[in-house]
């Protein structure tokens, strides 16, 4: 499902001379190295071809495939971006969109991959490999969306549970606060304990009370004696 569109690479070899001679040598050398599995040597040759002709469609096309082979799909897409606008060759563009779909698929950009595969099939509707890759990308996108929905539901449930837990904790705090307030009120309503008095202090207080009472009694006696004297004087007159 993830195979590179090798038939297009060999197609490039057949027509490279039509577009120029400067990069043809390195493109052919790179293709031979690629077929032998000499990926690093192939990359060197393709980049040399680009040094000779920075606009070489075929050097960029093959280098994009090589980047995909190395697992660098992001670099592969950058390498071939815009190439479909540079040629009217339908077979070339069909293979280009197919490969771009593979690059996007390698990055798990399923929506983008689907669009690339559809573009390829608009040019070549009978390409079974592209149809197969399209079906795979669509399935992966569906699975991804379902997982996202499931995760979203789980997150919502967790948030609701967390909110409920926070509400319960707040209620418990309120209950504890009310209990503390009631306890404080009860403590305030309790009779204040009388301070303890030592025996010596108690004796002194008692003596002071007795002295005060004695003083009062003597004062009353003096008042009575004074009144009695005044009455006697009145009689003597």
Give pLDDT, residue 231. 62
Question: Would 89 be classed as within a structural domain?
Answer: yes
Q: What is the CATH number of the domain that holds 43?
A: 1.25.40.10
Q: How far apart are CA 129 and CA 89, in angstroms?
A: 20
Torsion of CA 215, 218, 222, 223, to 10 degrees: 70
In a domain, 59, yes or no: yes
* Residue 192 located in a structural domain: no
The answer to whether residue 149 is domain-embedded is no
Question: Which pLDDT belongs to residue 73?
Answer: 96
Cβ atoms 105, 127 nearer than 8 A:
no
pTM for this one?
0.59
Q: How many domains does the chain have?
A: 1
Q: How far apart are CA 4 and CA 12, in angstroms?
A: 14
pLDDT at 166: 80
Are the CB atoms for 113 and 26 separated by under 8 Å? no
Residue-number span of the structural domain to which 101 is assigned: 6-144
Closest CA to 58 of 68, 46, 48: 46
Report pLDDT for 33.
94
What are the C-alpha distances in Å from 231 to residues 217, 218, 222, 228, 235?
21, 20, 14, 5, 7
pLDDT of residue 85: 87
| Long-range contacts, 205-213 (Cβ 8 Å, 24+) | none
Residue 100 lies in a domain: yes
Average pLDDT of each block of 10 consecutive residues along the chain (237 residues)? 43 46 84 93 94 90 93 95 87 92 95 96 94 95 92 77 78 77 69 63 75 80 74 52
């Amino acid at each position: 499902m993830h195979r590179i569109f090798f038939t297009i690479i060999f197609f490039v070899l057949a027509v490279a001379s039509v577009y120029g001679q400067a990069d043809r040598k390195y493109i052919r050398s790179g293709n031979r190295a690629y077929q032998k599995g000499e990926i690093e040597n192939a990359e060197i040759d393709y980049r040399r071809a680009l040094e000779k002709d920075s606009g070489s469609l075929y050097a960029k096309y093959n280098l994009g495939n090589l980047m995909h082979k190395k697992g660098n799909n992001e670099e592969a897409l950058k390498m071939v971006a815009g190439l479909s606008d540079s040629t009217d060759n339908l077979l070339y563009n069909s293979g280009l969109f197919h490969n771009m779909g593979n690059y996007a698929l390698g990055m798990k950009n399923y929506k983008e991959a689907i669009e690339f595969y559809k573009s390829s099939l608009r040019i070549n509707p009978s390409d079974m490999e592209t149809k197969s890759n399209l079906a795979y990308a669509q399935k992966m996108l569906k699975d991804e969306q379902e997982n996202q929905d499931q995760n979203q539901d789980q997150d919502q449930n967790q948030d609701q549970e967390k909110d409920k837990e926070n509400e319960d904790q707040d209620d418990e705090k309120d209950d504890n606060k009310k209990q503390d307030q009631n306890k404080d009120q009860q403590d305030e309503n309790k009779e204040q304990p009388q301070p303890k008095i030592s025996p010596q202090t108690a004796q002194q207080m008692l003596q002071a009370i007795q002295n005060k009472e004695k003083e009062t009694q003597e004062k009353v006696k003096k008042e009575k004696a004074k009144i009695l004297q005044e009455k006697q004087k009145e009689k003597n007159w």
